[in-house]
Chain A
């Protein structure tokens, strides 16, 4: 089945540092999504990307939909302690209206104050 390769699997950074993570796939996706999961909670949508090449920002977060439609990255600038959590990428396959998503394995972020 389709797989998303998400890297790195974990990061330990100091408060104030920038973070970058990406996802790649052998499949083409119509939509790329980035989620964050706080401990003990469900994933929450951070950014959605709908067009190849699209670059979207949400506060300190910036994400891009790769030109080939097979990859995406997420950057977090000037990290703060509440950025701690697991970040997931997800891609929606071009299946004519289906919402079925494929998820990456997640990147666990630890921010040291």
Chain B
């Protein structure tokens, strides 16, 4: 248990479904991130939130919609996904520190399969 909890751990959804991924941390971190990890590809940064404000959207298709209601919770709303969106979706959090970054704490991920 890393302190960053992601639910569900596994999700199978049809292309017409709407579902949401949830991420929660109580580490006191102020920044939260969504990453996509596909087989044989590097980690792809999707979204960054700092103090609940979105500070980065890495050209992510609009079928992925993030929501950050507070610094402890992050959601990724999914609708009309494509099979190529099947991947491991990782949430991470961090506490920005000038000059001595402590890195990210990752959740265990949600394994998403789009059928």
A56 an interface residue at 8 Å Cβ cutoff? Answer: no
B104 an interface residue at 8 Å Cβ cutoff? Answer: yes
Size class of B's contact patch?
20 to 34
Residue with the greatest number of chain B CB neighbours at <10 A, chosen from A43, A48, A101, A104? A43
- Which chain B residues in 64-115 approach chain A with CB under 8 Å? 90, 92, 94-109, 111
Which of A42, A44, A99 meets B96, CB within 8 Å?
A99
What is the CA–CA distance of A11 and B111 in the complex, to the nearest angstrom? 25
**B96 near A97: Cβ-Cβ < 8 Å:** yes
B21 an interface residue at 8 Å Cβ cutoff? Answer: no
A–B complex contacts, Cβ < 8 Å, 23 sampled: A30-B99, A31-B100, A33-B103, A35-B106, A40-B109, A42-B106, A42-B107, A42-B108, A43-B104, A92-B103, A99-B96, A99-B97, A99-B101, A99-B104, A100-B48, A101-B101, A101-B104, A103-B42, A103-B43, A104-B42, A105-B41, A105-B42, A106-B42
Residues of B in contact with A (beta carbons under 8 Å apart): 2, 4, 6, 31, 41-43, 48, 56, 90, 92, 94-109, 111
